[in-house]
């Protein structure tokens, strides 16, 4: 019985222990997860604001310093040394070291360290070598002001933070993913960081923007100081080598030539762009050649590369750092301010230590001089004990103690006893005093630096910029990007078909009627005989409605495509005429272009890309009381209104048929074009400089600094180089005057000509390598002024005013021209042109379309928009709206 009780008690105790263990494991799991999350955040993923390093980077730099003897060390050796401080594998340490080395700031590398441009990896760590850079040796280390802690196994001491006297975090950037948070600090320009630090110390405002080692073009409009929610758009630098070749010389940050080429090939395979072949000639500099097939627009291809490939991408920064062992979300401005203030604090600590050391040096040098000059060392000759020696020296020093700046300690006396006889015998009083004087100068200078600490810090930063700023100019060009509409630049990679009777459209109806080439992201606009209109996405097969009369690719916000329509208003109703345009509606929704009565149908329909207004003949059915059975209707007499307008009455009688009599001209005013110098693009939105009003046949005149001249029909997708000096509307009968330096003859020449071949690019200066364009005049009667150089011993020749119209006659564009002057000219100025009255051109184009979404006054269309539809083309929904004057229309006949 007793044994049974003991067994039960043991089982209960064991059961209780198990319960206690289970509870403990649950608690440990909760604690351990938090511990793990904290560890990843603090010890692996996020850099510290104090020095800008993650722990592995800090330990690598510490190991490099311990191994530093001025020579290169094998990276494998450095990795092995770092493992004394870093409790992880060698692969992660080697990778982190390669990343530091590729930034070319802290580590002086030797061997194949990989290529950030091509994406090639570094050689094995046993084959490459490294040592600390001069910049790192000067900025990163200062053992006297470093706080130390035990390494993970307690055998070594490692720095808590390295005393980095520079905003290193912003120069290198950082990226890491932890548990529950991440960080992405973009790299910034070395010189701009220093300039920002100096401005902060002076109390001035500053702004910092990223600068990437891969260069490229960046748009920092929405950078948001590097905080969450910001965005930086990055683009490759693409230029046109010739009419069939594009060249990429700089790539976006976060890509390499291999991934970039892969994205271009994928876009080509999907039909988004069309290319012939790609050549990768990248070595020290990026050079990717993209060869285009004949007939493909280079400008549109550049836009398409930005729209559909990795040539453009967005980077979202996220400023997260560790401060006092806690994560903190701050912007780059605050990061720089904190780092700069921390640098000032460390400079102060170094100066204070330096001052203390100088004062100690001065104290002992003075003590030594007193000791030797007054031969106090002789007082110890008869002393037999150590205590007696100390007392004798102390007694000998007392008469001279006023010369010192602090009291004499026993340690000072012990140091005096350690002076060798040889030093005493060769002691030079003058040299000793000179040394003391130099120490006093250094002490005074150090005190001055401490008293003017901010000025000292500014000088320190300026010295860093002077010593290490060479070759660290900004690489990424800051620009404002234009928004590229994918539908305008995508290659038409598929074919659209229609079955008019059954009412289907799609890309798979290959047995039916071919309509047009289109892309798989296009919208299609469709009209049916019953007066229904719908806009839908391209698909393999889509039902619209029976009896389709018109299908086309739809362009958003297109105000120039005008639809002319005559329709019958229900069974036995009147016929109406209307002209309208469609800028945007709800996608996949049927819109009724008639009044909505049953049996309404379209009698005549035409789509006119430039607002053309044709003349049609109306034929009526025979009726007893109708005298006139046929007449002409000119659409030019009909006002362009919104698509929901009812229109004007054509006739109340039954229409037999409507026939086209003659095609019409455009009734739209020429569109105004502006050039926005910020994004180097044309626009119709009143941004930038007005170039003029353009019809379909008008051209732009373009002249660049290389002397190349061409005329082009303007398109909003066109791209322009930075070296353009003339961009204006071309007037064919207006002469162009050019003054240029002829390289072979070394004289200025002048020529005046008309553009003979508007489709050909011409060079208006000679081909000599030293020839260059000086001035271009596009006025009818230009004037120029020559400023002569002063000859030795003679007075300067008066400036010469030239009437170019009288100086030279109009010749061919290929002519060399006339010599301007044989005298040396230092300046050629353009003067105000002489007055000229251009012949008056009578403009008969008097019908205009409203801008953007606004409806012309005669329409009085409701501005209400559908808020219930989610799938909208342009956010506008005017279905069911009708002119208020629908009941009181003007009858044409």
The set of catalytic residues is 127
Q: How do beta strands 217-219 and 477-478 pair?
A: parallel
Helices assigned H by DSSP within 286-385: 298-308, 332-373
d(CA 356, CA 371): 22
d(CA 589, CA 594): 15
d(CA 525, CA 515): 12
Among 119, 71, 73, CA closest to 97: 73
444 exposure class (CB count in 10 Å sphere: 0-12, 13-18, 19+): exposed
Quote the distance between the C-alpha of residue 862 and its chain's center: 41
d(CA 831, CA 782): 7
162 exposure class (CB count in 10 Å sphere: 0-12, 13-18, 19+): buried
**φ, ψ for residue 185 (rounded to 5)?**
-105, 120
| Sign of torsion over alpha carbons 802, 803, 807, 811 | positive
Contacts of 572 by beta carbon, 8 Å cutoff, 6+ apart: 654
Q: How do beta strands 174-177 and 148-150 pair?
A: unpaired
CB 126 within 8 A of CB 74: yes
Helix axis angle, 332-373 to 410-417, nearest 10°: 60
Sheet architecture: strand order including 494-499: 513-518, 494-499, 504-506, 542-543
Task: Give me the residues paired with residue 607 across strands.
Answer: 563
Instruction: Name the DSSP class of 187.
Output: P
Return the residue matching tokens 């990276």. 75
Among 354, 367, 479, CA closest to 416: 367
d(CA 722, CA 707): 14
Torsion, Cα 351 352 356 361, to 10 degrees, reads: 0
């Amino acid at each position: 019985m007793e044994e049974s009780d003991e067994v039960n008690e043991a089982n209960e105790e064991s059961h209780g222990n198990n319960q206690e263990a289970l509870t403990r494991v649950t608690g440990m799991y909760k604690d351990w997860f938090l511990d793990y999350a904290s560890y990843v955040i603090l010890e692996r993923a996020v850099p510290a604001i104090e020095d800008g390093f993650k722990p592995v980077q800090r330990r690598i730099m510490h190991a490099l310093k311990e191994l530093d003897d001025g020579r290169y060390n094998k990276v494998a050796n450095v990795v092995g040394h770092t493992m004394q401080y870093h409790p992880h594998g060698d692969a992660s340490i080697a990778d982190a070291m390669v990343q530091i080395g590729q930034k070319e700031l802290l580590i002086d590398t030797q061997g194949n360290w990989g290529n950030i441009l091509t994406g090639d990896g570094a050689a094995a760590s046993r084959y490459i070598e490294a040592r600390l850079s001069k910049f790192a040796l000067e900025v990163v280390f200062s053992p006297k002001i470093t706080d130390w802690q035990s390494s993970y196994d307690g055998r070594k001491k490692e720095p808590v933070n390295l005393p980095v006297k520079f905003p290193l975090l912003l120069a290198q950037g950082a990226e890491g993913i932890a548990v529950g948070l991440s960080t992405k600090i973009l790299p910034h320009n070395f010189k701009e960081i220093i300039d920002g630090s100096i401005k902060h110390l002076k109390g001035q405002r500053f702004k910092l923007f990223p600068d990437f080692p891969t260069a490229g073009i960046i748009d920092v409009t929405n950078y948001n100081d590097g905080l969450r929610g910001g965005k930086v758009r990055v683009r490759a630098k693409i230029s046109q080598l010739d009419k069939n070749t594009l060249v990429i010389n700089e790539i976006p940050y976060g890509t390499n030539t291999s991934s970039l080429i892969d994205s271009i090939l994928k876009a080509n395979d999907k039909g988004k762009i069309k290319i012939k072949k790609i050549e990768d000639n990248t070595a020290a500099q990026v050079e990717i050649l993209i060869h285009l097939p004949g007939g493909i627009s280079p400008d549109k291809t550049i836009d398409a590369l930005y729209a559909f490939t990795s040539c453009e991408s967005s980077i979202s920064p996220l400023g997260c750092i560790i401060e006092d062992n806690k994560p903190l979300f701050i912007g780059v401005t605050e990061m720089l301010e904190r780092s700069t203030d921390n640098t000032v604090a460390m400079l102060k600590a170094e100066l204070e230590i330096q001052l203390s050391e100088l004062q100690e040096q001065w104290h002992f040098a003075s003590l030594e001089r007193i000791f030797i000059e007054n031969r106090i060392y002789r007082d110890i000759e008869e002393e037999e004990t150590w205590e007696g020696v100390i007392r004798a020296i102390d007694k000998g020093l007392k008469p001279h103690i006023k010369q010192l700046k602090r009291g004499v300690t026993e340690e000072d006396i012990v140091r005096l006893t350690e002076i060798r006889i040889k030093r005493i015998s060769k002691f030079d009083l003058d040299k000793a005093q000179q040394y003391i004087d130099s120490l006093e100068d250094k002490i005074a200078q150090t005190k001055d630096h401490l008293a003017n600490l901010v000025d000292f810090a500014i000088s320190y930063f300026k010295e860093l910029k002077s010593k290490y700023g060479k070759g660290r100019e900004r690489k990424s060009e800051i620009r404002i990007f234009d928004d590229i509409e994918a539908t305008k630049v995508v290659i038409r990679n598929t074919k659209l078909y229609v079955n008019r009777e059954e009412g289907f459209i799609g890309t798979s109806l290959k047995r039916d009627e071919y309509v047009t080439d289109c892309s798989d992201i296009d919208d299609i606009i469709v009209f049916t005989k019953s007066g229904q209109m719908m806009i839908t996405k391209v698909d393999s097969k889509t039902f619209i409605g029976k009896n389709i009369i018109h299908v086309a690719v739809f362009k958003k916000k297109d105000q120039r495509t005008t639809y002319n329509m005559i329709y019958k208003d229900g069974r036995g109703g009147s016929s109406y005429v209307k002209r309208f345009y469609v800028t945007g509606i709800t996608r996949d929704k049927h819109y009724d272009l008639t009044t909505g009565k049953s049996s309404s149908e379209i009698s005549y329909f035409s789509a006119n890309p430039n607002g053309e207004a044709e003349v049609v003949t109306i034929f009526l059915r025979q009726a007893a009381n109708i005298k006139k059975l046929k007449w002409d209707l000119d659409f030019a007499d009909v006002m362009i209104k919104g698509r929901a307008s009812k229109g004007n009455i054509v006739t109340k009688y039954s229409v037999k048929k409507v026939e086209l009599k003659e095609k019409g001209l455009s009734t739209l005013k020429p569109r105004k074009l502006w050039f926005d110098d910020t994004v180097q693009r044309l626009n119709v939105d009143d941004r930038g400089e007005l170039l003029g009003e353009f019809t379909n046949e008008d051209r732009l005149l373009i002249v660049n600094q290389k002397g190349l001249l061409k005329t082009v029909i303007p398109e909003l997708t066109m791209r322009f180089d930075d070296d353009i000096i003339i961009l204006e509307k071309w007037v064919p009968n207006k002469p162009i005057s050019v003054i240029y330096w002829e390289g072979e003859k070394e004289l200025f020449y002048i020529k005046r000509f008309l553009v003979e071949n508007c489709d050909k690019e011409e060079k208006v200066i000679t081909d000599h390598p030293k020839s260059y364009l000086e001035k271009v005049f596009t006025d009818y009667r230009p004037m120029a002024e020559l400023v002569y150089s002063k000859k030795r011993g003679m007075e300067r020749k008066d400036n010469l005013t030239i009437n170019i119209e009288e100086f030279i006659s109009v010749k061919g564009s290929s002519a060399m021209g006339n010599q301007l002057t044989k005298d040396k000219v230092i300046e050629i100025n353009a003067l105000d042109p002489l007055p000229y009255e251009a012949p008056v051109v009578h403009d008969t184009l008097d019908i205009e379309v409203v801008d953007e979404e606004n409806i012309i006054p005669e329409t009085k269309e409701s501005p209400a928009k559908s808020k219930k539809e989610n799938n909208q083309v342009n956010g506008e929904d005017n279905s069911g709206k009708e002119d208020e004057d629908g009941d009181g229309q003007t009858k044409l006949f």
